[in-house]
Chain A
Amino acid sequence: MSILVDEKTRVVVQGITGSEGLFHTRQMVEYGTNVVAGVTPGKGGQKVDGIPIFNTVSDAVKEAGANASAIFVPPAFAADAVMEAADSGISVIVCLTEGIPTLDMVVVRDYLKERGSKLIGPNTPGIISPGKCKIGVMAGYIHKAGTIGIISRSGTLTYEVVDQLTKRGIGQSTCVGIGGDQIIGLDYVDLLSLFENDPGTEGMIMIGEIGGTAEEEAAQFIEENVDKPVVAFIAGLTAPPGRRMGHAGAIISGGKGTAKEKMEALEKAGVRVVRNPALVGEEMGIVLGKRKK
């Protein structure tokens, strides 16, 4: 099974005629994702690869029954695109864009509160339920359908972990990239809750990094609400303080947000914290093996 996206998901691509949007739409379609529409204001009525393009998300919902959105829109306009999707009743919004101003995201989060949409990202590779639906830019072929839920702030580090799992025959129910920014949509706590309640998920992997307190909040949530096994890797034990390590959210500020603190908080909550990034898949294998006994 899976969470948030599956074979019934109907995707509208906002920014479908841009070079990134078009390239990845074709990749998603090739994977088997049901892309039912695209939106590029001004190009409504046209088609690309047989996919109808609309001027607004609201039209895409009305005419094509879209219920999820992939946003490939530049930073200056991406926050508005998220709000448009929410306003149009899209249930799952995946915003791939890196570089959205933080204060724009403050407004987006507030806007989303009143509406039922779930936001994944921004600055994310997306979400994939292997074999069913991929909304994003990840290489589909490294994934395998299975029972492990993955929640990650990273892109390629997630692929690394997925690859380790798949090569061991351990499949994934859903992999969610929550993104590398300071202010994001769904966080670890939201997804741990969904995975805990998903009968098709038997364990979770958290991939975190320096900056913020999301992993610590997750640790508290796990202690009180999660029985399924959780394995975690936190990147940035060697990161210097005060520097932004690529991701807008990866910064140790005023001594807070270190990898060490996060690892300690998670271990205290019973999470199996792995210190070597090459051994995450192996650790999950051990954990699952123990449970079968």
Chain B
Amino acid sequence: MKIHEYQAKEILKSYGVPVPKGKMAETPEEARKIADEIGEKLIVVKAQIHAGGRGKGGGVKVVTSPAEAEKAANEILGMTLITHQTGPAGRVVRKVLVEEGMEIQKEFYLGVVIDRSKARPVVMASREGGVEIEKVAQESPEKIVKEWIDPSSGLRPFQANKIGYELRLDPGEVGKMKNVLFGLYKAFHEKDCLLAEINPLVLTVAGDFVALDAKMNFDDNGLFRHKEIGALRDLNEEAPLEIEASQYNLNYIKLYGNVGCVVNGAGLAMATMDIIKVAGAEPANFLDVGGGATVEMVKNGFKILISDPDVKVVFINIFGGILRCDTLAKGVLEAVSEVKVDVPVVVRLEGTNVEEGRRILNSSGLNFTVASGMKEGAEKVVEALKTKG
């Protein structure tokens, strides 16, 4: 789960990480008031979206008065911000962070992330702050300092020391950076993050460390024990159909094609998208109804699919293991009885109770094309698209 920069800064602040004075605004007037409260000569107005590259996309403005802050907020709020991380459609900006500008002496990178292959968190730090860490990792990996966390002891002070001296900080600065690092690490650990990153972490002219930007990604699997994090979710950052699907506990992701897919199992769902592409069409979505799906979930998944105007044909690809084929067939029929289906439906069923599932579909009187394998299913989908015209 992602959150906004302003929310990440609030969390890190509560863990003792210095952040710029600032507050989130949803209107230009609020922005002016906040700038006034801050009372510094440099104010920054930053678009708040769940994507990076906001500066390059025109979503960050530096101003020198509350009146200018109001003007900047007016320009940014409501704009469709396009960055290399939003996709070509961009994201509509509904919130801005108004904060004091800092006098920057040096920019660093500081982050904590899970290292999957070592199965432990790793702290990464670099003197190359303010640029994408992936770029640094690719072009000059030697510029990234790494310290892996031993789960039985957590982050050790000597590790923070090591990082400080490898970043070529002087002793006074090392102490201050350690405070930031421990705050960042504790937040990561206590809130079940997958990523907690400060980029850039600036060393100000006055000699203090301040988190100029902050990003925290949370483990969806950990949300059950962090209700306060779940409450930070911003539905405006999610596609409407995806929000609806999540309410039914379905894994649904909207894509850009016209073949709607209903599949049980994430791997098979991805493979189904792949085989549709191989057959010459484009998937409209990823939808995994799961191994433990009930008739209700299957029904809801199907309805969400059908309500997507981009969908011109539906491909149901189900391998019944835990999910029984007769359960699926009943779910599809219930969905169809509640929703008007005017697109062709290609069905491929396999697995537990397959004969019963096929029988239920065939005797429904509805126009389903039944395929006996994935390859045939994908081919029939392409055929259906052609005949539809």
Contact = CB atoms under 8 A, between A and B. Distances in A.
Interface of A: 20, 75-76, 99-103, 105-107, 109-110, 125, 137-139, 142, 152-160, 163, 180, 182-183, 207, 209-210, 212-214, 217, 233, 235-240, 242-250, 254-256, 275-279
Contact of A233 (B132, B189, B271, B277): B271
Contacts of B132: 254
6 contacts: A103-B189, A106-B121, A137-B321, A207-B267, A243-B286, A277-B374
A243 B253 contact: yes
A242 B114 CA distance: 15
A183 B225 CA distance: 19
Contacts of A243: 253, 286
Contact of B222 (A103, A125, A246, A247): A103
Interface of B: 85, 114, 116-117, 119-121, 132-134, 137, 150-152, 189, 192, 194, 219-222, 224-225, 251, 253, 255, 263-278, 283, 286, 288, 291-292, 319-322, 350-352, 373-375, 378
B117 A214 contact: yes
A125 B321 contact: yes
B315 to A, nearest CB: 13
B313 to A, nearest CB: 17
B321 A159 contact: yes
Contacts of B276: 238
A277 B378 CA distance: 11
Given A212-B116, A233-B271, A99 B221 contact: yes
A244 B220 contact: yes
Given A110-B151, A239-B286, A277-B271, A160 B319 contact: yes
B319 A245 contact: no
B221 A101 contact: yes
Contacts of A137: 291, 321-322
Identify whether the interface residues of A are mostly helix, strand, loop, or mixed: loop
A240 B253 contact: yes
Contacts of A236: 270, 273-274
B286 A246 contact: yes
Contacts of A155: 265-268, 291, 321
Given A101-B219, A139-B352, A182 B374 contact: no
A156 B116 contact: no
Give the residue among A76, A155, A275 with the most B Cβ atoms within 10 A. A155
A172 B373 CA distance: 20
Contacts of A106: 114, 119-121, 151
Nearest to B257: A238
Given A156-B291, A183-B114, A213-B116, A101 B225 contact: yes
Contacts of A237: 274, 277
